[in-house]
Amino acid sequence: MFKFRPHHLICNLCFQGNGYNARFTKRLAAINKTLLTNPHTKYIQIVNGTDDICIRCPKNKAGKCEHETSTALIDDSYYTILRLSIGEIVSLNDVIIKTKRFLSMNSFRDICGQCPWKHLCEPALSKINSCMDF
């Protein structure tokens, strides 16, 4: 079981092998591989605050994101848009369905507009919205 804060659901869907550093990227790649191998298995528990991806993030300072205030606002937006609740357990397929159904590109741009990885996510989200089914 992986613990994910809501915005990391989108990060995982858009992951293309890039990250803040090698440790972070290796961790996210391993999680991503597990989820892609078993897309219908309910491996993801929605949490509030730092999660299993944050473990290797260089911005994780003693178990808390150094940008927690702004990151929590991003998470709050994804809780609402993707209709998630803390403690909910979902599969990658569930995340894809919710993303296709509820997340518009305009909403994504509004929420993640300041993210340095946004330019990588836009094409991945467009592909998910147009053709990806599990």
Does the pLDDT of residue 22 top 90, yes or no? no
pTM for the model? 0.88
Share of the chain above pLDDT 70, in %: 96
Which tens digits make up the pLDDT trace of 41-97?
998 999 998 898 888 887 888 888 888 888 999 999 999 999 999 999 999 999 999
Residue 132 pLDDT? 45
> What is the helix, strand, coil percentage profile of the chain, to 5?
55, 10, 35
133: pLDDT confidence band, cut at 50, 70 and 90?
very low
Q: What's the pLDDT score for residue 85?
A: 95
How many structural domains is the chain composed of? 1
Do the beta carbons of residue 63 and residue 92 sit within 8 Å?
A: no
- Residue 75 lies in domain: 2-131
